[in-house]
Chain A
Amino acid sequence: MISKDEVKKIAELALLAVDEKELDALTKEMDSILEYVSEVNEITSESDGSHEEPALINVMREDVATNEPGQYTKKILGEAPSTDGDYLTVKKIL
């Protein structure tokens, strides 16, 4: 159902480093899980094609600030691995 190369590709898309030696076991496990869940194809063979329609209602509230400016800034930045003043730092983008 799923090949090692596909797992590798998916891991790249998911931005997830996967150890080369872990790939075989992972492929096997994913294969058995995907085979199991593909049961939904049989289930839905009698479906009229209608989808899950969540019971949506509009939830409105006043457009007001729920906190003072800067109230959480220090706390939140305190959790960041690397900052420069009030900015998060990352490696060069371009």
Chain B
Amino acid sequence: MIDTEKATIREVREKLDAKEFTAVELAQAYLDAIEKKDSEIHAFLEVYDDVLEQAKKADERIAKGETTPLLGIPLAIKDNILIEGRKVSSASKMLENYTATYDATVITKLKEQGAVFLGRTNMDEFAMGTSTENSAFGPTKNPVDTTRVPGGSSGGSAAAVRSGMTLAALGSDTGGSIRQPAALCGIVGIKPTYGSVSRHGLMAMGSSLDVIGPLARCVDDAEILYSAIRGCDAMDATTVPDTRKRLEKKKKYTVGVPRGFLEKGVEADVLEKFEEGLEALRKAGHDVVDIDLPSLKNSLATYYIIVPAEVSANLARFDGVRYGLHVDGKDRIDDYRQTRGAGFGKEVRRRILIGTYVLSSGYYDAFYNKAMQARAMIRRDVAEAYKQVDAIATPTTTSPAFKIGEKVNDPLALYLEDIFTVSANIIGTPAISVPFGTATRDGKELPLGFQLMAPELGEATLFALGNVLTSSTN
């Protein structure tokens, strides 16, 4: 009745409204898919025990003739977004038994629409990572090839969508954590404009970069979910006022390609597919031009100073006193040390230490201060480029999904996964990854992502061009 690996929100909406099936039947189909597949994939950290009750409530609203885009639609939520009364752990031992005391603003919005929450998805601990191997509760596997990573940090959300265990999911993106797993799992992921979606109730990682966004099977579904969660929020003073003008869709776009940035490090067949994507855009009547943006390649170094700095400040709140894990030490100060030492995993500790280092008085000027200068330069350069083009295109990653364990002892190699994605976070602009083609590794066809970036509040551009690319491959 319902093919959960193919269904889309729009199609399911019509069928729910036409009473072809009920929200309860729909939810059951997804619960069955989870039951069948998740023991191998491990996309979920928890499947809620009241899914059918939530769906029943949606059915009651549908029976009354009510409809909203997401009424009765099953969704999976990344484990760093708060839902009142439910466990939320950021895939960390630190919060293993923590229960959220309030709803994140995005959750309030989804509840108003009547969405059905299936469960919380696995991730890299506190969203730090690019493979979901940093979860304190074991890695998630890529549904396309279970010997490979699904990407990260929103790897559980991406794997759940790809394998038909949810219709769509929420993730968070600080440097590529929605787009990179979307690319490696062959689905759509969008990082919205910074501040277009409220961060209230999202566990903070890099507060000047974090944003919540959708992962979905197709561009239209991502747009439906994005429209549902965005908006100004009194609880997050960094949200963009609703009165600010959004870029509107237009017929013909000019897409810029930062050639100099693609010269090194991209695998040959990945680059080939990317060229095919550009060709598809041309064929659809859009202009594709080369642009020179040398500062883009500096984004990654800049990012990996800013992020650990913000991490070290944000994660100072975990003191073993107010909430979360507590490990007893020999005195009060040692309580903090032992709690944090035991509660945080390797990558989190590494970033706290690097952040503390780059913010320390002796090194602040050489690192943090320079990174803030670089951030200003990158922002200026990219703003200059957007005077010539409507969007900037790159591959989402340099290669398809890598093997589980392959890079686990090389933190820097894992950081390099973010090379194409971090710049959009550094400047706060929106970016999308859409599936485009595959690359064959060890006899398996692995998905590739095509990334498009747009100026602030230019999500419409990304949805329009994203649709061009995905419809050209169908």
Contact = CB atoms under 8 A, between A and B. Distances in A.
Interface string A36-76: 11111101101101111110000101000010000010011
A33 B311 CA distance: 16
Contacts of B322: 79-80, 88
A75 B84 CA distance: 10
Interface in B383-425: 411-412, 415
B257 interface: no
A93 B372 CA distance: 38
Given A33-B304, A38-B367, A91-B332, A51 B376 contact: yes
Main secondary structure of the interface of B (DSSP, over half): helix
Contacts of B411: 29, 32-33
A78 B312 CA distance: 26
Interface residues of B, number: 61
A80 to B, nearest CB: 6
Contacts, number: 154
A88 to B, nearest CB: 6
Nearest to A67: B102
How many residues of A sit at the interface, in one of the four size bands? 35 or more
Contacts of B356: 10, 13-14
Contact of A30 (B335, B357, B369): B357
B87 to A, nearest CB: 11
Interface of B: 98-99, 101-102, 208, 234-235, 237, 295, 298, 301-302, 304-305, 312, 316, 319-326, 329, 331-338, 340-342, 344, 349-350, 352-354, 356-358, 360, 366-367, 369-377, 379, 411-412, 415
10 contacts: A7-B353, A10-B356, A32-B411, A34-B354, A36-B412, A37-B301, A49-B373, A51-B376, A81-B326, A92-B332
Interface of A: 2, 6-7, 10-11, 13-19, 26, 29-30, 32-34, 36-41, 43-44, 46-47, 49-54, 59, 61, 66, 72, 75-76, 78-82, 88, 90-93
Given A11-B353, A14-B356, A37-B305, 13 more contacts: A10-B353, A13-B360, A17-B340, A17-B341, A19-B341, A36-B301, A37-B371, A43-B302, A47-B373, A51-B376, A76-B101, A81-B320, A92-B332
